[in-house]
Amino acid sequence: MISLDLLLKHMQWANKEIYTEVSKLDSEVLDYYVIDPEWKIKTILLHIAKASNNYGQFINGVTETEPLELEEPSSSDDIKVLTDKLYEIDQGLIDNQGIGDVDLTIKMRSGVKEHKSSTIFSQMVFHAAEHRAQIVAALDRHNVRSINLDDYDVWSYIRAH
């Protein structure tokens, strides 16, 4: 059975790898999007980190989160800063995975909710994967095909580690 530890470590690795690959591209790609111009690559990169920051705080028992104070990246250096911060946030989730499947009270836009920690961990992993795919789709739409998601799947993570 696949473990939460493997899923979280894969997420951390895939996030870092995809962000690093995007940082190697020309900065104009940061304005690419799939369909909705509100969801540019630079917006998605920041969104993943901000959401991860919130999920990490929820796992730590914080009901109302403190926002991550970073701006959308506009350069390779900005992406590297964001990559490092996201890696740190992801590491916190890895370090706190042993809390058990406890009930957590969290404040979301839709109000105060109770969720199991397993739900938050699961949402975190799938949220990051969905948006990594959105980044690659935006690149693909503009004929930038240097990032292949198959290179960042769980099997690739296992081979790399």
> pTM here?
0.95
For residue 70, what pLDDT is reported?
Answer: 96
Please, what's the b/e burial string for 56-68 (b: 16 or more CB within 10 A of its CB; e: otherwise)?
A: bbbbeeeeebeeb
Please report the pLDDT score of residue 109 as a whole number: 82
Q: Looking at residue 82, what is its pLDDT?
A: 98
Q: At a CB cut-off of 8 Å and minimum separation 6, what does 161 contact?
A: 9, 13
Q: What is the pLDDT of residues 28-48, one digit of tens each?
A: 999 999 999 999 999 999 999
Neighbours of 44 (CB within 10 A): 22
Q: Which whole-number Å values give the CA distances from 153 to 8, 31, 140, 149, in the listed order?
A: 12, 25, 18, 7
CATH number of 4-160: 1.20.120.450
pLDDT in tens, 84-118: 999 999 999 999 999 999 999 988 888 899 999 99
